[in-house]
């Protein structure tokens, strides 16, 4: 095959149509040996090649049950790590662009979380009183931290159930890295805002007093998603003033004031399902990433549904966007040649504890 000699740099010079044809041809050759998992925020040119699409929970379940030899994850780094942790040893997980990270996941590091745990231990008995809960948008070493401390992982679609699981075991939760998912979920469970405090990892004792920590039910890490923090309650008010019949739906990574004004709050998969199953001729204002909203708008047009993006400015996930047809064609053609590039491998000492925390979630 002529492509054998092509480097990533050569692929970068190819246009999208060329890559499209190469991806289709390589997929045909690989057949069932390879599965492509695609997150809903992937751009169209990549998304259309996914064998399975979904939110983080659905894709992690898919990775755990897949029979394929190669799992190509069109998503971001933490998702590929989860796939590697949950897959069998003989399977190989590939991330087409290794620079596809998640800025929110980067806001919590093991060093900072361990320091937080040590400082909390000076105020209370953390092992008896606190369950560490990490959002799946976090590095594998943080999932391992949760595994070591009898904690658990959650996603945007099961955060409520996971918090219930946690409170059934211990009275407090340390929730990282996304403060918004933690706050939005806790509040919907009936926890008052003043019993959820924010831990500022740049300050001693998180910038909190011992009394504030003792009173708190949930200690929220000071992390956020740079895409979802762009949505504002004023954008909802302005839109409703023009189209009062609109239904508002938001991802729980959006700020509290936005989720409070929304009619529905849910994961990417829930957003798609809710709008798809709504009656025809309805109008929707959606607070999540632009690629998903644009696809949903096109899909729903034929049912007379109007789907609008909440923010007046473009907010795409720039790291999801890094996975382009050029990278996908490059990794697939290498697989056809039995060459694995951009493999994601979590070291087994870390993976073991991370698997504990992930399985706690999957078993709930």
Task: State the residues that interact with ligand SF4 by CB under 6 A.
Answer: 76, 102-104, 137, 225-227, 253, 289, 317, 319-320
Q: Which is nearer to ligand 13P, 156 or 179 (CB)?
A: 156
Q: Which is nearer to ligand 13P, 197 or 293 (CB)?
A: 293
d(CA 259, CA 253): 9
Which is it for strands 52-54 and 92-94: parallel, antiparallel or unpaired?
unpaired
Strand order in the sheet with 34-39: 52-54, 34-39, 70-74, 92-94
Dihedral class, residue 297 (left if φ above 0, else alpha if ψ from -120 to 50, else beta) = alpha
Please report how close the Cβ of residue 56 comes to ligand 13P at its closest, in angstroms: 3
Residue from 268, 319, 323, 360 touching ligand 13P (CB under 6 A): that is 268
- 323 sits near ligand 13P (criterion: CB under 6 A): no
Residue from 3, 42, 53, 56 touching ligand 13P (CB under 6 A): that is 56
d(CA 195, CA 120): 16
Q: Binding partner of residue 14 among ligand SF4, ligand 13P, none, CB under 5 to 8 Å per kind?
A: none
Q: Which is nearer to ligand 13P, 26 or 285 (CB)?
A: 285
Q: Which is nearer to ligand 13P, 138 or 360 (CB)?
A: 138
Q: Binding partner of residue 85 among ligand 13P, ligand SF4, none, CB under 5 to 8 Å per kind?
A: none
Contact mark string toward ligand 13P, 34..53, x via CB under 6 A: ------x-------------
For residue 258, what are the CA distances in angstroms to 161, 183, 234, 248?
Answer: 22, 12, 9, 9
Hey, how many other C-beta atoms are within 10 angstroms of the C-beta on 226? 15
Sequence-ordered list of residues with C-beta below 8 angstroms from that of 264, at least 6 positions apart, any chain = 247, 248, 249, 250, 270, 271, 274
Residue from 3, 134, 138, 156 touching ligand 13P (CB under 6 A): that is 156
d(CA 18, CA 12): 11
- 225 sits near ligand 13P (criterion: CB under 6 A): yes
d(CA 27, CA 252): 35
Which among 83, 81, 84, 78 is positioned nearest to 102, based on CA atoms?
78
- Do the Cβ atoms of 151 and 357 come closer than 8 Å? yes
Q: Which is nearer to ligand SF4, 208 or 254 (CB)?
A: 254
- DSSP 3-state percent helix, strand, coil across the chain (nearest 5): 50, 15, 35
Q: Which is nearer to ligand SF4, 60 or 334 (CB)?
A: 60
- 137 sits near ligand 13P (criterion: CB under 6 A): yes
Residue from 53, 155, 166, 235 touching ligand 13P (CB under 6 A): that is 155
Give 264's Cβ-side CA count (13 Å radius): 20
Q: Which is nearer to ligand SF4, 75 or 335 (CB)?
A: 75
Residue from 19, 36, 55, 166 touching ligand 13P (CB under 6 A): that is 55
Binding site for ligand 13P (CB under 6 A): 40, 55-56, 137, 155-156, 225, 253, 267-268
């Amino acid at each position: 095959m002529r492509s054998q000699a092509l480097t990533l740099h050569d692929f970068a010079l190819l246009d999208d149509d060329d890559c499209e044809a190469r991806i289709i041809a390589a997929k045909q050759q690989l057949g069932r040996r390879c599965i492509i998992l695609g997150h809903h925020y992937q751009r169209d040119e990549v998304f259309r090649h996914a064998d399975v699409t979904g939110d983080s929970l659905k894709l992690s379940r898919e990775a755990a049950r897949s029979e394929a030899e190669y799992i190509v994850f069109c998503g971001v780094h933490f998702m590929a790590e989860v796939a590697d942790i949950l897959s069998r040893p003989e399977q190989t997980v590939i991330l087409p662009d290794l620079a596809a990270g998640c800025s929110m996941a980067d806001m919590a590091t093991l060093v900072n979380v361990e320091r937080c745990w040590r400082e909390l231990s000076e105020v209370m008995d953390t092992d008896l009183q606190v369950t560490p809960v990490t959002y799946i948008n976090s590095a594998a070493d943080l999932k391992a931290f949760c595994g070591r401390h009898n904690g658990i992982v959650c996603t945007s679609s099961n955060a409520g159930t996971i918090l219930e699981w946690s409170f059934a075991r211990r009275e407090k939760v340390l929730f990282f890295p996304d403060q918004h998912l933690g706050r939005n979920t806790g509040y919907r469970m009936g926890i008052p805002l003043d019993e959820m405090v924010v831990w500022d990892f740049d300050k001693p004792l998180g910038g909190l007093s011992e009394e504030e920590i003792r009173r708190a039910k949930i200690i929220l890490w000071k992390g956020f998603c740079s895409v979802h923090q762009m949505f504002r309650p004023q954008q909802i008010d302005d839109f409703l003033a023009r189209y009062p019949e609109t239904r508002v739906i938001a991802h729980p990574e959006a700020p509290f004031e936005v989720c409070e004004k929304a009619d529905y709050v849910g994961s990417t998969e829930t957003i798609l399902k809710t709008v798809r199953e709504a009656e025809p001729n309805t109008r929707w204002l959606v607070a999540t990433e632009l690629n998903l909203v644009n696809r949903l708008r096109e899909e729903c047009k034929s049912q007379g549904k109007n789907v609008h993006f909440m923010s007046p400015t473009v907010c795409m996930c720039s790291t999801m966007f890094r996975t382009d047809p050029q990278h996908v064609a490059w990794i697939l053609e290498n697989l056809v040649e039995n060459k694995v590039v951009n493999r994601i491998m979590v070291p087994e000492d870390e993976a073991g504890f991370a698997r504990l925390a992930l399985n706690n979630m999957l078993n709930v």
